[in-house]
Amino acid sequence: MSDLQVLIAGAGPTGLTLACDLARRGVAVRVIDQAPGPFPGSRAKGVTPRTVEVLDDLGLAQEAVRAATPLVMRHYGREGTFTDQRPASYWQTSPAEPHPQLLLPQWRTEAILRSLLGRLGVTVEYATRLARFEQDGEQVTATVQRDAGGQVIVADYLVGCDGGHSTVRKQLGVAFEGATHPGQTLLIGDVEVTGLRPDRLHLWADPERGLLQLCPFAGVTAWQVAVMTPAWQARPPAPSQEVFQRAVLEITGMPQITLGAPTWTSTYRVNVRMADRLRGGRVFLAGDAAHVHPPAGGLGMNTGIQDAYNLGWKLGLVLSGHAGDGLLDTYEGERLPIAAWALGTSTERLRAMTGEFGKGTDADLGVVNTDDTRQLRLGYRWSPLSREGHRQGVRAGDRAPDAPCRDAAGASVRLFDIFRGPHFTLVGFGQSSRSSLDVVGDAWPGPLRTCLIAEAGTLTDADGHAADAYGVTGEAMVLVRPDGHLALTVEAHDTVAVLNYLEALKTLLSGR
């Protein structure tokens, strides 16, 4: 085993999430990025409720919610008429699903993650490019370039979070199958905007004039401008203040709207591509290095963050000796189907949104936001890590719901408060599971927290939210994975099944 356990190439949201998750587990990790410094743009601005749950587990949800921009969408017709819409799917919460969709510029999401990473003792190494790597059965040897010199880094594992043009993916020889749609090109930038209310996301969608979105962000003067016109699709211009300003006037007909000089710009061509595998020996792919999506629904960044969340706990258990290397095979087995789902869903949502463009102010552009795009229904029921012995309510592989409960002192405690941290959580419903929790807690040496929901237990479920969320009508135990999915559902007395599950993690052998 090397002194460095994991080398991460790429310090975007995916790489930063993975680095934070590994560092809090005590894994020795380095993060390199070829950019000269932190990403300055707003690009991926929608944070789904499931990703907010990931941030919650990292202790960052409250900070993200405070920094977010309240979203009301103002949709304009041709004559300057408008309607204000607040898509219900962005804001509908419940005791089991407590977090809303957030509107955050990507640079701020990254800054929140990078701040935590710094507190965990890891600094991103910018201006450091991965040139090449080799691997054997024991380690990965990477050559990186910094300034005029090179450096060799040896690590147990390498994870490519280095974007759609991933060096790691290309050198690993992984196919990136799919298509680029040259007829769908979006120009994006960060600019100051005057002439519009700063508490609305302003949207024009016209099949003849084009699509324009002007989106403010809380606490800063820069707005995101995103524009697509039919005239540009054959040969789109380079984004600039002049190009943006001309498009704004042509699409809106409102000369009072003026834009400042962009501080960041990008040309976005719609791509639908996915890697055919996510693991090659001791090397993994995550985020845009593994899949790229249409922008509708904002699934790209969120799916990447959730890739990292799936991989992090598995690397942590393997590196600590609590699981066999075969656990890492389940990363590909669980995340490839999710990547395929995200590509299909974002493509379908883009088609649905485009279909609304010609309806004027009657258009419901909230169609892009559905229960699917909240990402709360995603799970791994098909995974070998999902085992069922008790078929009430939620199923093994499903996302573990939240619920407000009370502790012994009567204080409010959510299940997410119990789940938070780099451990499995064994939850017992009912007094008869008390001894089972004690037996498992004493027997398994890995990271595990136990929680008894009962009178005189760790928590009480006075309002029945926990029982409702989990569908438990009697007594049972559920084992919650470190990434907030159910590993196992069993009868309240079945300690053997729980211990067998946890012990089997150590005997998992890689099929590669």
Residue 411 and residue 481 in one domain: yes
Residue 315 and residue 172 in one domain: yes
Residue 329 and residue 435 in one domain: no
Residue 328 and residue 350 in one domain: yes
Residue 276 and residue 263 in one domain: no
What is the pLDDT at residue 101? 87
pLDDT tens digits for 125-175?
A: 999 999 999 999 999 999 999 987 889 999 999 999 999 999 999 999 999
Report percent pLDDT > 70 for the chain. 90
Residue 202 and residue 310 in one domain: no
Look at 314 and 84; give whichever has higher pLDDT.
314
Mean pLDDT of the chain: 90
**In contact, 241 and 253? CB cutoff 8 Å:** no
Does residue 422 sit in helix, strand or coil? Answer: coil
Alpha-carbon gap, residue 179 to 435, rounded angstroms: 56
The three-state DSSP-derived secondary structure of 269-329 is: EEEEEEECCCEECCEEECHHHCEECCCCCCHHHHHHHHHHHHHHHHHHHHHCCCCCHHHHH
Residue 258 and residue 277 in one domain: no
- Phi first, then psi: give them for residue 77, nearest 5 degrees: -95, -175
Greatest mean pLDDT among 89-98, 114-123, 336-345, 366-375 lies in 114-123
- Answer positive or negative: Cα dihedral of 113, 316, 30, 168: negative
Domain termination site, one of 269, 296, 322:
269
Structure confidence at residue 400 as a pLDDT band (50, 70, 90): very high
Alpha-carbon gap, residue 402 to 417, rounded angstroms: 9
What is the pLDDT at residue 345? 63
**pLDDT exceeds 60 at position 354:** no
Please report which helix (H) or strand (E) contains residue 135, including its range: strand 128-135
Greatest mean pLDDT among 242-251, 372-381, 389-398 lies in 242-251
Tally the residues of the chain: 512
Residue 218 and residue 326 in one domain: no
Residue 283 and residue 221 in one domain: no
Alpha-carbon gap, residue 129 to 143, rounded angstroms: 9
What is the pLDDT at residue 310? 98
**pLDDT exceeds 80 at position 59:** yes
**In contact, 134 and 141? CB cutoff 8 Å:** yes
Range of the domain at 257: 186-269
pLDDT, mean of residues 68-95: 80
CATH number at residue 216: 3.30.70.2450
Count: domains in the chain: 3
Which residues make Cβ contacts (< 8 Å) with residue 89, sequence separation at least 6? 101, 366, 369, 370, 371, 373, 374
CATH number at residue 461: 3.40.30.120
Residue 59 and residue 135 in one domain: yes
Structure-token match 């009370």, residue found: 406
Does residue 350 sit in helix, strand or coil? Answer: helix
Please report which helix (H) or strand (E) contains residue 247, including its range: helix 241-252
What is the pLDDT at residue 78? 74
